[in-house]
Structure 1
């Protein structure tokens, strides 16, 4: 975990790769819970028998499930001290280059792209790359935008 003592220290790290999260295993139970929460019950995610005959040979995580892990994984990489709160603001770019088969382990790498003063605080942009263990392409690449309030 990389800890920054305030916004000035964070600003000095723009352009740096901040590190990697721990590995997280995506289980069928997690996939099923995500399907239930979002109403996305496509067979490729929730039907192991049918998915075994599909293009990946097993069920795969929803792309948006992988994306939803970004906050949890990112919080394992860095922390900014001296702020009251951080708020998700959006994403500038999002791609899912490769599927995540059930029981895969994923982790996130975080690169700090920018920190700029803005309304209500500082706008922070990070590029988060979620990779699958033994995968040849990332599972998710997203430029996240947050607002940090000092």
Structure 2
């Protein structure tokens, strides 16, 4: 895990692939709870029998937005940003989904610090995010996430 204490230490990481998270299994319970939370009960996510019989992947798949929502959790396994008064998930940019995440797949976030900019006391960090799926050649997605920090 990378420890970041201030703007200067973050800036030193610019252009660096800082690491990967541990593997996280996305099971049917998590997919179903996400469906309930977002009111998105499309059968390809929640109907195991229909997905196996009629679906293109022979199993249910995770919602794309579920996999995106894991970024803060997985990022905190890669980097610990200390001495902050405020941390905001500010945005996502240039995201593309590659392949679906089938139920019970294990995923890991690979993160690269693309840019670190001091905006008069608020630090804007763009992190390149790639969600890897164990035993798959292509990632589930690639793109950039934007975090804002106010250091103490």
Q: State TM-score, norm by structure 1.
A: 0.96
RMSD, aligned CA: 1.0
Deviates more, 1:133-142 or 1:108-117: 133-142
After superposition, residues 1-150 of structure 1 pair within 5 angstroms as: 1-53=1-53, 54-118=55-119, 121-150=122-151
Distance verdict in 2 for CA 1:65–1:146, change over 3 Å: same
5+ residue gaps, structure 2: none
3-state SS of 1:61 partner: coil
Distance 1:81 1:91 in 2: 22
Q: Is the 8 A contact 1:7 1:80 kept in 2?
A: no
How many angstroms does 1:95 deviate by?
1.2
Deviates more, 1:22-31 or 1:83-92: 83-92
How many residues get paired? 150
Distance 1:120 1:130 in 2: 31
3-state SS of 2:57 partner: coil
Distance 1:119 1:29 in 2: 44
Distance verdict in 2 for CA 1:28–1:81, change over 3 Å: same
How many angstroms does 1:55 deviate by?
0.6
Runs of 4+ in structure 1 deviating by more than 4 angstroms, as ranges, are: none
Distance 2:120 2:35 in 1: 36
Distance 1:109 1:6 in 2: 22
Deviates more, 1:84-93 or 1:33-42: 84-93
5+ residue gaps, structure 1: none
Q: State TM-score, norm by structure 2.
A: 0.95
